[in-house]
Amino acid sequence: MLSLRLKRTGRTGHAQFRLIAQDRRFSPKSGRIAAYLGSYNPHTKKAEIDVEKINAYLKNGAQPSPKVAKLLKKEGVKLPSWVAKPSAKKRAIRHPEKLRRNRSADAEPVEAPAGEPAPVKEEKVAPKSAEQTADLSAETHVKEEASVGEAPLEADKPVTKAADEEKTQEAATEASHAQEDKTVESNAEVEQPAETEKPKQPKAEG
């Protein structure tokens, strides 16, 4: 049985194709080709085909490949009813139950993989009544008054810190002066010569 196929030609990285009629048992690279029916350039999307020869092979029962059938349909060639029409390939979705549109509102959240933080749930806050809002406004007013009363105390804190720093500096200077006095006294004691003892004279007998 003959089939209509595309045979790859051209150099590496710049492919071009020829439309051929060939026995389906052989490969396009085998060289056993019945007829050349046209060419197709995928870079310019241009096809040159011999419509009369193609119609003759189709009438005699030649089966076009899916790509050739798509190309012939694009070029306006009428295909017989028995030719299988190419269908768009749809890839199956993995884990469709994890899609948002397939989740229910009460479904359990999907566990996050290790190393990733778990999603934070947003808690719905119930609307507050008029009494609760009035109580909150009164509490905020009291807190504002208390903060106004505490503000001067916070302003006095830098003054006390400055006084403490001055005191610590004075204590450090006094300690350094005392240490210097001690070192001077110790040096003076070392420099003084030891007193020599005078020999005792014998008393004259009377």
Identify whether the C-beta of residue 57 lies closer than 8 Å to the C-beta of residue 80: no
Sheet holding 16-23, edge to edge: 46-49, 35-41, 16-23, 2-9, 63-64
Query: How much is the pLDDT for 153?
Result: 47
Query: How much is the pLDDT for 128?
Result: 58
Alpha carbon 41 to its chain's center:
41
Query: How much is the pLDDT for 134?
Result: 72
Work out whether strand 46-49 and strand 35-41 pair parallel, antiparallel, or are unpaired. antiparallel
Helix (H, G, I), strand (E, B), or coil: what is residue 186?
A: helix
Query: How much is the pLDDT for 104?
Result: 77
Q: Running along the chain, 206 residues long, what does each successive block of 10 average in pLDDT? A: 91 92 88 91 92 91 90 89 74 85 69 60 61 74 64 50 77 80 67 54 58
Q: How is residue 58 written in tokens?
A: 């189709």
Identify whether the C-beta of residue 45 lies closer than 8 Å to the C-beta of residue 70: no
Query: How much is the pLDDT for 206?
Result: 46
Residue 75 burial (CB count, 10 A): 14
Residue 182 sits at φ, ψ, to 5 deg, of -65, -40
Query: How much is the pLDDT for 130?
Result: 65
